[in-house]
Chains A and B, each alone.
Chain A
């Protein structure tokens, strides 16, 4: 597009101006490598038998085994809780987007009574210490029949994902000129039709980024998800806290599960990697 085109011209000058210190890249890749060490170590543990893990320290596994992964994929407790996490996380991303889209549009286009206070109130929901708030959570979800359902967890996670989604989407929408709304209104588009046909395609990348963040925060959350589930919707993270048996902790299996919990996030981030920088940059920052 034109926007891209005009950037290419001064690149030769700018490339020099933006030149980083000579050792910066090296330092960065060294840091990235250090960052990966704990993860690689966990991966190393996941392919060793338990006796080798606890027996003695060795940098590389002496015997490589995939038994831990096999256990994971054959034991219904493990693989079903893995699926549970994926299901409620995806549901949460979709539901958060559906309620956040109109609200973000309202925040970006209109001033209305109490809009600033409402926004601050939404954000404060991130700040409640969970330990005590979990108790009433349990009671509410049980009383309305959402206890131990995927839908229940998805709704509970909207508590912190919806404010975030509104915040990111609002930033993107404010970058879309109002003239587009007005032109569409003159052309006879009703608000819902305009929103779905014209507006949503314009903010595709924002939707991608928002979905990613909802997915991420829902995926890593444990306390709420564990409190309002027992069997049918139990998250993988909760299953992992219960690997201690009479024989002690099954470190190999725990490490294998840990490795597998990273994969969905890694897949999602690979798909939205180009939008991430934009998502923050165009957001309300």
Chain B
């Protein structure tokens, strides 16, 4: 792994490492312990090798400038909206935190918040285990690998409104394969434009279809990075497939799963385009998530004050929850 020197030494080094691991590890618990420690060690050694040099800021500057151009000014404008009552471009009064107060007390917004939290929770509970299961059962070598990777990744490459369109058609009871099958083969009455539960299920299924591949790809990459000696040791111990998964594969997936959980939380909590195309937030308010309600207030009613306060609180919630997830996930199991 370390340049020319390591390449020459690699065969000998690998044998030693393999022998050590296989010889040392007698029980599954020790094995899991070794697997758990490894990432930490890598992190520590990498942090030490970096030198302190503030001139590195010059290298980072282009990134800061390019991101700030599209990030900072809009944020400031939204802060501006949130503390003023704007009647016209020239006629506006400062209202302090009034909009924040009214937004936090609005029952419609509270209901949408609960709905969105429920949706995110369901998304995580369904997609993370399913994605890991998929990654474990994906082919590992041969021509099947490429085909499997491309097929699994395909839903990720479809524009989000097209995903909405696909499901809008697919779930229709009259002309869509999915809806038609449920109605006529399973004999259950299913209509996502009229029934709240059906609409919710459609949006949830669509999200599982769309985003489980991301979890699967991340987990697959994580599995591929586990060194062979761990598996040899498990083999020698006569570990069952489940024990191998539980004590070797799962602990090594913590890093990738942290990222998968964070990305899935952020994106499911801010989901907009797909449900907007499929249900438009309906029927009634059944699938009216925070982002859909927000754009109704901002674009539909043009209430910039409440919309600005709403956005900032929304932004804050996403950041706090992401931060909590991140801290908990990186600390547990260490």
A interface vs B, CB < 8 Å? Answer: 1-3, 5-7, 10-11, 13-14, 16-21, 24-25, 27-28, 31-32, 35-39, 41-42, 45, 53-54, 57, 59, 95, 98-100, 102-103, 105-113, 115, 118, 122, 124-133, 135-137, 139-140, 155-156, 158-159, 162-163, 166, 174-175, 177-180, 216, 219-223, 236-237, 240-241, 251, 254-255, 257-258, 261-262, 265-266, 268-270, 273-274, 276-282, 285
Scoring A105, A180, A265 by chain B CB atoms within 10 A of each residue's CB, the highest score goes to: A265
> Given A18-B231, A35-B152, is A285 in contact with B222 using a C-beta cutoff of 8 Å?
yes
Q: Can you name 10 extra interface pairs (CB under 8 A) apart from A2-B7, A5-B10, A32-B148?
A: A21-B241, A38-B166, A103-B59, A127-B319, A133-B74, A133-B75, A174-B46, A240-B159, A251-B169, A285-B259
Q: Name the distance in Å between A264's Cβ and chain B's nearest Cβ.
A: 8
Is there contact, CB below 8 Å, between B165 and A254?
Answer: yes
Is there contact, CB below 8 Å, between A20 and B319?
Answer: no
Is there contact, CB below 8 Å, between A219 and B209?
Answer: no
Scoring B7, B69, B165 by chain A CB atoms within 10 A of each residue's CB, the highest score goes to: B165
> Given A31-B134, A57-B175, is A135 in contact with B77 using a C-beta cutoff of 8 Å?
yes
Q: Which of A2, A107, A251, A265 contacts B11 (CB 8 A)?
A: A2
Is there contact, CB below 8 Å, between A220 and B235?
Answer: no
Q: Name the distance in Å between A219's Cβ and chain B's nearest Cβ.
A: 7
A127 to B156, CA, bound (A): 19
Is there contact, CB below 8 Å, between B154 and A124?
Answer: no
Residue of B nearest to A13 (CB): B232
Residue of A nearest to B257 (CB): A285
B interface vs A, CB < 8 Å? Answer: 1-3, 5-8, 10-11, 14, 18, 46, 49-57, 59-60, 62-64, 66-67, 69-71, 73-75, 77-78, 81, 134, 136-140, 146, 148-162, 165-167, 169-170, 174-178, 180, 209, 213, 217-218, 220-222, 224-225, 228-229, 231-232, 234-235, 241, 244, 255-256, 258-259, 266, 270, 272-273, 277, 290-291, 294-295, 298-299, 304, 307-308, 310-311, 314-315, 318-319, 322
